[in-house]
Structure 1
Amino acid sequence: MSQCAQVNKSNQDEVVNKLPLDEAIIKSQYFLIQSPLETADLLESECVLDGSPHDTLIIFTHGAGANMHSDYMQDMVKGLLDKGAEHGIGVLRFNFPYMRANVLDGKRRPPDRAPKILKDFNIHIKAIRAEYSPKRIILMGKSMGGRMAAILAADTPVDGVICLGYPFIPLKGGEPRLAPIEECQAPVCVIQGERDKFGGKGQVELWPVMEKTRLHWLTDGDHSFKPRKSSGTTQEANLNAAISHSIDFIRGLDA
């Protein structure tokens, strides 16, 4: 059985007590999920849980450059909990392997290759599902995290996928990354800034595959949903819109 460790929030390196996951449900609680790998190694991953995990649990993964504690992710979590309270929403975050290493030594590594990230992602989902037995699991990801979520949902049963700023177009060139959305077996919601350099309005909406998704545009937003001052809107307004679209998508899964 996977285990977790309660971590002292004033000193996250100090493990003060070990509990089964289902005995330690506390808002903004830190955990270490431990799971044996195929080798003799043990995966230890710090996770952050906000809200209750037993009804609708959103597993929220970071993008390539910023970890799970970024202002963007924390603002999204707060809004999801505020607006999703009546729907019993909980949010769980964790860092992918390269980001866990970055946090430990302060270095800045590039993302791991997709197979390593997907294996790690799947281990987390299995451990979380086994311990909490949520009624629904929604995968939400920022940029790269959303792409990994869509890929994983091709053969891992989940109830929905929400991509925040999906990286459609590789910046170094190449074909658009449409296969993850085409092959995803769960309902997909894409929330995109109109000026996103990885795929903006007037381009993304022309691809036939997008007809199978819930696609929402955020006014003048860039890859982080930040608009220009001349747009008349703000990043906060766009984040609030993204949160509302996410809650509406989750609510619509019951229809």
Structure 2
Amino acid sequence: MGAVATQDSPTNPGATEPLAGDGIVGVLHRPARTPIATAVLTHGAGGNHDGLLLRQLGDTLSARGVLVARIDLPYRQKRPKGPPSPSGSARDRDGIARACVLLRAMGTGPLIVGGHSYGGRQASMVVADDASVADGLLLTSYPLHPPGKPDRLRVEHLPRITRPVVVVHGPSDPFATTDELAAAVALIPAPTTVVEITGTGHDLRPDRKPTAELTAEAVLSHLVGRRTD
């Protein structure tokens, strides 16, 4: 599957267009050929769908044949700045699930869901609760615990994840050390791959590191090429 996915050059990411409807706001990256897979990606607590990492992932994955939607979570649609409220996390998860339903209808091949930090955590909870939502999970900079509070682990749902997972990690991330992340990943019963972006922290430095390229390679090898029914 990976060999097929690299036929298109990463410099030819295809077209983008606005994505809106049914409470979904974002941007769609259409590959230049029939999609081999579909992905729904969302942002961290302080960001939106237009963050650099999400834009680069959209371009890089679509250049390799993946139909990609990068979306704003419901809390971000309500206000342009500020963190999410814990009371609204269920609505954010519902927004992710609805986007997956929409992209299932639009795309072909396996569907990957995930995102950066908070967005990835919410996506992982969606998949833990209902594995039929997606065929694979992508987590960039999973926020394992608040910075400086390693006793407040966010791992309760991890043993219920049954879809393959790719985790992209910066070793200087204050939300999870490499050892802490390894212990958390061990709780996931599904096949899980960790991609370490050396010399980075929570933001994964997509402006200076090949973060998008390494992430796309892992997605194609471990999620698109390894589907569970």
Instruction: Give the TM bin, normalised by the shorter chain.
Output: 0.7 to 0.9
Asked whether 1:205 is paired with 2:159, we answer: no
The normalised TM-score by structure 1 is 0.72
Counterpart position of 1:98:
75
Counterpart position of 2:155:
178
Counterpart position of 1:114:
89
Counterpart of 1:71 (choices 52, 67, 74) is: 52
Call closer, same or farther: CA 1:50–1:192 in 2, change over 3 Å: same
Q: Any conservation in 1 of the 2:40–2:99 contact (CA below 8 Å)?
A: no
Distance of 2:103 and 2:196 partners within structure 1: 32
Q: Tell me, which stretches of 5 or more residues in structure 1 are unaligned? A: 1-25, 35-42, 228-233
Counterpart position of 2:144:
168
Aligned length: 206
Counterpart position of 1:127:
102
Larger relative contact order (Cα-Cα within 8 Å, sequence gap ≥ 6):
2
Q: Tell me, which stretches of 5 or more residues in structure 2 are unaligned? A: 1-13
Q: Name the aligned partner's letter for residue 140 of structure 2.
A: L
Call closer, same or farther: CA 1:194–1:29 in 2, change over 3 Å: same
The normalised TM-score by structure 2 is 0.79
Distance of 2:194 and 2:90 partners within structure 1: 27
Q: Name the aligned partner's letter for residue 203 of structure 1.
A: E
Q: Any conservation in 1 of the 2:160–2:189 contact (CA below 8 Å)?
A: no
How far off is 1:148 after superposition?
1.0
The runs of at least 4 aligned residues of structure 1 exceeding 6 Å deviation read none
Counterpart position of 2:7:
none
How far off is 1:101 after superposition?
2.1
% same residue: 21
Counterpart of 2:123 (choices 136, 139, 149) is: 149
The superposition leaves residues 94-132 of structure 1 with CA deviations (integer Å, 9 ceiling, x where unpaired) of 1111211224xxxx2321432111122222222333x32
How far off is 1:242 after superposition?
2.5
Asked whether 1:139 is paired with 2:113, we answer: yes
Call closer, same or farther: CA 1:65–1:58 in 2, change over 3 Å: same
Counterpart position of 2:26:
47
Q: Name the aligned partner's letter for residue 30 of structure 1.
A: P
How far off is 1:247 after superposition?
2.5
Q: CA RMSD in A?
A: 2.5
Report which of the two structures shows the higher radius of gyration computed on alpha carbons: 1
Counterpart position of 1:16:
none
Aligned residue for 1:168, secondary structure, equals coil
Counterpart position of 2:164:
187
